[in-house]
Structure 1
Amino acid sequence: MIDSPYVSTFLGHRFFLTRPHIDDVAIEDIAHGLAYQCRFNGQTREFYSVAQHSLMVMQLVPAPLRLAALLHDAAEAYLGDMVKPLKNLFPEFSAIEARVMQIIGERFAVDLEHLDPAIKVADLIALATEKRDLMPHSTEAWANLRDILPLPESIRPLMPLDAKSAFLDSFHQLRG
């Protein structure tokens, strides 16, 4: 009997939420999970994945930061993409998420616990672009986007399999 809660992954692994193990982290599980999760809890004009968001953030940072940028939301493959207002209500969730990010970072030899400020800015630029292009009825100002300009080009959402493939291709290119 297993006494610790786990998530069954695409590849058939058991990912233990409260005691994650480095051997249970697989890039295909991450790419698949992120490609099939819609940003903003699905409250978008059309499906737009966390994987595609991660690809956008990756493209906005200098080359040495790209792997960390690509993986900046990797824990969501195992924990889900909890909307920020809800996440703020559950500090224990944030602690679990931090531990999962630590393990993922160890697995791929990248620091995901202390993200470079450039990644955080890129994440906000992506967020501003996503709000403009994917949430046309969300007309209120978001405080965290003050002074953040969206990208000039519009987002063209990818189908999940295309987002997964692009995520994996980018990962493998970055890893050499």
Structure 2
Amino acid sequence: MSWITTLSGKHFNFHDISPDAICIEDIAGALSKICRFTGHIPEFYSVAQHSVHVSYLVPPEFALEALLHDAAEAYCNDLAAPLKQLLPDYQRQIEEVEVVIAAKFGVPFPMSSAVKHADLVMLATERRDLDLDDGTPWPILEGIEPAYFILSPLNPRQSFVLFLQRFADLNRSR
């Protein structure tokens, strides 16, 4: 079997990725239930909430791209970055999903430098606010300052609603 059934009941086939199998409610639903840092944090903090924050850290023209920058994880799940680097087949599969999602929602692929930078700002913020800073250097964050706000993790339902509200707001302004 090469497909999964999504929250909305669609079949998402990894061998034949159809844009029709992708919907924003499935993305919001899955990302709101996936915990950042493979769950190794004191309290639940979702990929959906992370994505919403990233969408506010970029200029408006990059906001939808930023909101959707981790959308492929709704179908492929989230893996710790060090593990992702060891799995080239996973990297290829997630890239295939990213390409279809980008085309479906009209955002660029590959990810713009503005979104990549905002994602790192959020990583620095998460490190600071989610008790991940044990003094060990994170080379990827060299020269990156955390955001001006303090994170307050939401539950999955709140993250789901926040993600969909942000998507609706961004689509109204397009």
TM-score, scaled relative to structure 1 = 0.94
Q: Is the 8 A contact 1:131 1:138 kept in 2?
A: no
Moved over 2 A (4+): 135-139
Deviations 1:37-76 (A, max 9, x none): 0000000110000000001110000001000000000000
Give the superposition deviation at 1:93: 0.8
CA distance in 2, matches of 1:30, 1:65: 19
**RMSD across aligned C-alpha pairs, in angstroms?**
1.1
For residues 98-126 of structure 1, the C-alpha deviation after alignment (integer angstroms, 9 at most, x for no partner) is: 11011111111211x22111111100000
Deviation of 1:154 (Å) = 1.4
| Partner residue, 2:170 | 174
8 Å contact kept, 2:84–2:90: yes
State the 1:153 CA deviation. 2.4
Contact 1:43 1:135 in 2 (8 A): no
Structure 1 equivalent of residue 131 of structure 2: 135
| 8 Å Cα contact 2:58-2:118 kept in structure 1 | yes
SS for the counterpart of 1:15 is strand
Measured in 2, the distance between the counterparts of 1:125 and 1:136 equals 14
Residue-pair matches, total:
172
Contact residue 126 and residue 132 of structure 2 kept, 8 A: no
Give SS of 2:128's match: helix
**1:77-96 correspondence runs (5 A):** 77-96=74-93
Q: Indicate the SS of the match to 1:115.
A: coil
Q: Which segments of 5 or more consecutive residues in structure 2 lack a partner in the other structure? A: none
User: Structure 1, unaligned stretches of length 5 or more?
Assistant: none
| Structure 2 counterpart of 1:116, from 105, 108, 112 | 112
Q: In structure 1, what is the Cα distance between the partners aligned to 2:169 and 2:77?
A: 26
Identity %: 41
Compute the TM-score of the two structures, normalised by the length of structure 2: 0.95
CA gap 1:18/1:131 in 2 versus in 1, 3 angstroms: farther
Report the counterpart of residue 164 of structure 1 in structure 2. Answer: 160
